[in-house]
Amino acid sequence: MTDQASKLRTLARAELPESTLFHSRVMAITSGKGGVGKTNVVAGLAMSLANIGQRVVVLDADFGLANIDILLGLTPTHTLEHVLRGEKLLEEILLDGPNGIKVIPASSGIQEMTQLDAASELRLVQGLQRVSENQDWLLIDTAAGIHDSVLKLLMAAQEILLVTTPEPTSLVDAYAMVKVVHLRDPKKPIWLLVNNAQSETEAEETIEQLQAATLRFLGRELQVLGLIPADPFLLQAVRQQRGVVDVFPRSPAALAFRSIADLLKKKVPLQKGSFASFWKQLSLEES
């Protein structure tokens, strides 16, 4: 790193607030393998949380292949790219999604988070801090896989929601993700959600297998949220670019999202610290 770049980073960090209490619960949704349903889970939970009176903002942090806006039929005119370049404030690009949820759209093909310069990083983190202050939840939809950029978001979030399907490949990759997070922070809460399950038995077997592995090799168990069944209504909703919770509220997937939203509301506490202060800590550890 050049002297000038490192000076800029130090300056940027100094401007991040040391906040005392989370105003919103910050949850990053991740998976080991791609295509397991993260974005659909984020959309379903966001809308179900909104339906039970929670204020929710969704950050699309899949910078490579942004798509939560497409899934919800939204058409952004400005995206995170404009925020990172300093052309817009985060508040100015917020989209109104269904049921009162707010969406921060990414645009496909932005540079990796790891390559963000200090000024862009500061704009993003301060913007998130401001925006999430008026919300109960900040849900972060991440890109699949174990990249530095994804890991930094996961470690800065208060909670991690790990999505897997019952497929062995997805399960093995989910374990790999748990291991990487656990080695960085053994206390980081990880919630497990099995998506696209053909039956309860199949989901239970998936949960048991993953729990057995994490217990044996890492000495910890994950917190289980439950399952979202494989549901043709969800596919139909995707085709209509609408949330399944909205268009088919009595469908198996919508009912499952509802009960998981109830569980999250009941079980996830507000914690000390803030997204910005966590981020700052991570930046300090990196340098």
Ligand X SMILES: Nc1ncnc2c1ncn2[C@@H]1O[C@H](COP(=O)(O)OP(=O)(O)OP(=O)(O)O)[C@@H](O)[C@H]1O
Instruction: Please report, as ranges, the residues that interact with ligand X according to CB under 6 A.
Output: 31, 34-40, 62, 144, 195-196, 228, 230-231, 234-235, 238, 253
User: What minimum distance in Å lies between the beta carbon of 218 and ligand X?
Assistant: 23
- Asked if residue 46 lies in contact with residue 101, where contact means CB atoms within 8 angstroms, the answer is yes
Which two three-digit tokens encode residue 256?
Answer: 């499952």
Nearer to Mg ion, 22 or 63 (CB): 63
Strand partners, 61: 142
**Cβ neighbours of residue 59 closer than 8 Å, sequence gap 6 or more:** 104, 128, 138, 139, 140, 141
39 contacts Mg ion (rule: CB under 5 A): yes
Give the one entry of Mg ion, ligand X, none that residue 31 binds, where binding means its C-beta sits below a cut-off of 5 to 8 angstroms depending on kind. Answer: ligand X
User: What minimum distance in Å lies between the beta carbon of 17 and ligand X?
Assistant: 31
Q: Phi/psi at 225 (nearest 5 deg)? A: -95, -30
Residue 19: DSSP 8-state: -
Round the CA-based radius of gyration of the chain to a whole number and report it.
Answer: 18
- Asked if residue 129 lies in contact with residue 17, where contact means CB atoms within 8 angstroms, the answer is yes
**Of the ranges 38-46, 189-197, 256-264, 271-279, which one interacts with Mg ion (CB under 5 A)?**
38-46
Per-residue string for binding with Mg ion, 167-206, x by CB under 5 A? ----------------------------------------
Please give the residues from 118 up to 137 whose contact with Mg ion meets the rule CB under 5 A: none
Give the one entry of Mg ion, ligand X, none that residue 34 binds, where binding means its C-beta sits below a cut-off of 5 to 8 angstroms depending on kind. Answer: ligand X
Nearest-10 Cα torsion for 40, 43, 48, 54: 150
Give the one entry of ligand X, Mg ion, none that residue 230 binds, where binding means its C-beta sits below a cut-off of 5 to 8 angstroms depending on kind. Answer: ligand X
Name the residues that contact Mg ion, by CB under 5 A: 38-39
